[in-house]
Amino acid sequence: MKQNILITGGAGFIGSHVVRLFVKSYPNKRIYNLDKLTYAGNLENLKDIQNEANYTFIKGDICNSQLVMSLFEKYHIDTVIHLAAESHVDRSIINPMDFIQTNIVGTVTLLNAAKHYWKDAYEGKLFYHISTDEVYGSLGETGYFTETTPYDPRSPYSASKASSDHLVRAYYHTYKLPIIISNCSNNYGPYQFPEKLIPLMINNIKNMKPLPVYGKGENVRDWLYVEDHAQAIQLLFEKGKIGETYNIGGENEWRNIDLVRKLCQLMDKKLNRPAGSSEQLITFVKDRAGHDLRYAIDCSKIKNELGWKQSVNFEQGLELTVDWYLQNEQWLNNVITGEYESYYEKQYILR
């Protein structure tokens, strides 16, 4: 069983790494990638595997119930790995409704299709929902999020993800739908859209543009290399316990300002610039509304129960990431035109 796998949001950042890993790992399983190709979706992310025999791309919206139902019927879907989402906190502050629609309505649309098509034969089926540590709220200077930390989302994005988590659990308790949820910390790596901190800074350093650090740069995030997240997702697909939640994290906390300085130093070396030159671009700007102070994940459950661990340390991961963006100039140039320019202006210049 678990032969026909529907991955949603597979043309996005994390989704493309998951699709690639699954297509390569399971030549005898069929991988169906359903993605609406919003501004964040990009088929260039999957160019290397697009012609593989076990891979099919479907352009479409997870909120389209008729389409989702037809995919379950046509392809005998027995597994859903659900990543499709509106994922950027700043955009959720500008326009919450897209987040409510995709993250909540879209998730319920998928849950309903799974419930309908799997009916009473739940054996060998899996609805795996990918979520975020942001559902737990904001930490002070100490402490960690565990799987039992009460939910306390504080942005429209995290509230929409928390709602979707609650609905997935509700379908488990009410209908016995076989679900797993994982909540992960901040990912970084190749193919991340340059609205997020690390690729935005890489792009701006490269182009000698101001580096907009929100507030005083004292907010803390726990960074995980994206391929380590994809490996954790594969492990949970294979060995996760139905009905359970697993936290995934980098155990790698950085204050934003320290991280941006580290990137500046690394890029000065890579670009043969005098030491200290990129740091001069750092500009402190108006803080994000409701900016969560600190996220930090306790991931001992997935480590102790399933043997997962991070394989890429931050030094290696940042270098791999910077090298990738510098070597893939065309990818970067393609995504920073059009929609990105108007978003950038709204977020950083007009406010």
Tokens 């790698």 -> residue: 252
By beta-carbon proximity to ligand DAU, the closer residue of 85 and 113 is: 85
Known catalytic residue: 133? yes
**Residue 180 forms beta bridges with which residues?**
128
Give the one entry of ligand NAD, ligand DAU, none that residue 9 binds, where binding means its C-beta sits below a cut-off of 5 to 8 angstroms depending on kind.
Answer: ligand NAD
According to the binding rule CB under 6 A, does residue 9 interact with ligand DAU? Answer: no
Known catalytic residue: 172? no
List the one residue from 256, 278, 310, 321 that touches ligand DAU (CB under 6 A): 256
* Integer Cα distance of 220 and 110 in angstroms: 33
Quick one: DSSP state of residue 49?
G
> Closest distance between ligand DAU and the C-beta of residue 89, in Å?
4
According to the binding rule CB under 6 A, does residue 87 interact with ligand DAU? Answer: yes
According to the binding rule CB under 6 A, does residue 325 interact with ligand NAD? Answer: no
Known catalytic residue: 165? no
* Integer Cα distance of 222 and 285 in angstroms: 22
List the one residue from 19, 84, 108, 267 that touches ligand NAD (CB under 6 A): 84
Mention every residue, 6+ apart, whose C-beta is less than 8 A from residue 325.
190, 199, 202, 203, 206, 332
* Integer Cα distance of 215 and 285 in angstroms: 6
Contact between 254 and 221 (Cβ < 8 Å): yes
Which stretches within the chain are classed as H helix? 13-25, 65-75, 89-94, 96-99, 107-118, 156-175, 197-206, 226-239, 256-270, 300-306, 314-327, 329-335, 339-344
x/- site string to ligand DAU, residues 185 to 204, per CB under 6 A? xx---------xx--x----
x/- site string to ligand DAU, residues 128 to 167, per CB under 6 A? ----xxx---------------------------------
DSSP string, 154-214: -SHHHHHHHHHHHHHHHHHHHH---EEEEEE-EEESTT--TTSHHHHHHHHHHTT--EEEE
Mention every residue, 6+ apart, whose C-beta is less than 8 A from residue 116.
69, 72
According to the binding rule CB under 6 A, does residue 89 interact with ligand NAD? Answer: no
List the one residue from 214, 223, 254, 325 that touches ligand DAU (CB under 6 A): 214
Quick one: DSSP state of residue 58?
E
Contact between 224 and 313 (Cβ < 8 Å): no
List the one residue from 92, 186, 203, 347 that touches ligand NAD (CB under 6 A): 186
Give the one entry of ligand DAU, ligand NAD, none that residue 38 binds, where binding means its C-beta sits below a cut-off of 5 to 8 angstroms depending on kind.
Answer: ligand NAD
How many residues touch ligand NAD (CB under 6 A)?
A: 30
By beta-carbon proximity to ligand NAD, the closer residue of 71 and 267 is: 71
Give Cα 20 to chain centroid, integer Å.
Answer: 15
Residues that bind ligand DAU (CB under 6 A): 87-89, 132-134, 185-186, 196-197, 200, 212-214, 219, 221, 256, 288, 295
Residues that bind ligand NAD (CB under 6 A): 8-9, 11-15, 35-38, 40-41, 61-63, 83-87, 102, 106, 130, 132, 161, 184, 186-187, 193
For the annotated catalytic residues, the residue numbers are: 133-134, 157
